[in-house]
Amino acid sequence: MVATTTAGTTMADFADRSLGIGYPGGASLLLALLMGSLAVWYWSAGSISVNTVSTPKIETFYWVAILFSQTLGTALGDWMADTNGLGYEGGALVFAAGLALIAAAYFYTGISRTLLFWAAFILTRPLGATLGDLLDKPLANGGLAFSRFYASAILAAIIIACLALLPQRAGQHHGKPRTTHV
């Protein structure tokens, strides 16, 4: 996951800056690549659900989709924070609101859980990136000027708190019924 995040950031910066197509062009290119990778996966396997990742072939499709979704997320985060005038706080609020809408759709609609998963997965990357930038960018650039070390420590503490406070349950492998222990 760390490798796809790092590669995704590099690819997003290449698309946005080096190709000269800017954030809208980079995000559009990356969205097309993600949709293409998901389409090929679906065409080949009949599903793009992460619950079906059980063979090397399907796992390859999964990691390609993860790479493109991480890259798209980075491009969206940069686009929202840098060029739309929202700054890091505003960008983070937009992506958090998007995730809240996806959560509401999960609980109150019959929209495909697979579609909701991929939408949420894509939005978590720009949310994390804009929050990270908010913590460590200089005050003059709209950040809070924490060092990378302290920003990382703050984010790690938040993640640990969420893991400790939010209920966890084991996943279910595709095709196998969940067992409950009393």
pLDDT digits (tens, 9 = 90+) for 99-133: 999 999 999 999 999 999 999 988 988 888 888 88
Determine the average pLDDT of the residues in 77-90.
83
Chain centroid offset of residue 109 CA? 22
Q: How confident is the model at residue 71 (pLDDT cuts 50, 70, 90)?
A: confident
| Helix boundaries (H) for the chain | 2-13, 22-45, 56-78, 87-108, 113-136, 148-165
Q: How far is Cα 107 from Cα 114, in angstroms, rounded to an integer?
A: 14
Residue type, 80: M
Q: How far is Cα 130 from Cα 89, in angstroms, rounded to an integer?
A: 7
Q: How far is Cα 155 from Cα 136, in angstroms, rounded to an integer?
A: 11
Q: How far is Cα 173 from Cα 171, in angstroms, rounded to an integer?
A: 7
pLDDT, residue 25, reads: 85
Q: How far is Cα 119 from Cα 101, in angstroms, rounded to an integer?
A: 10
Q: Is 71 exposed, middle or buried (0-12, 13-18, 19+ CB in 10 A)?
A: buried
DSSP symbol at 154: H
pLDDT, residue 172, reads: 64
Lowest mean pLDDT among 16-20, 37-41, 135-139: 16-20
pLDDT, residue 4, reads: 64
Lowest mean pLDDT among 36-45, 60-69, 79-88, 173-182: 173-182
More confident residue, 6 or 79: 79
Lowest mean pLDDT among 9-18, 20-29, 153-162: 9-18
What is the Rg, in whole angstroms, of the alpha carbon atoms belonging to the chain?
18
C-alpha distances out from residue 47 to 42, 82, 123, 133, 141, Å = 5, 36, 21, 35, 43
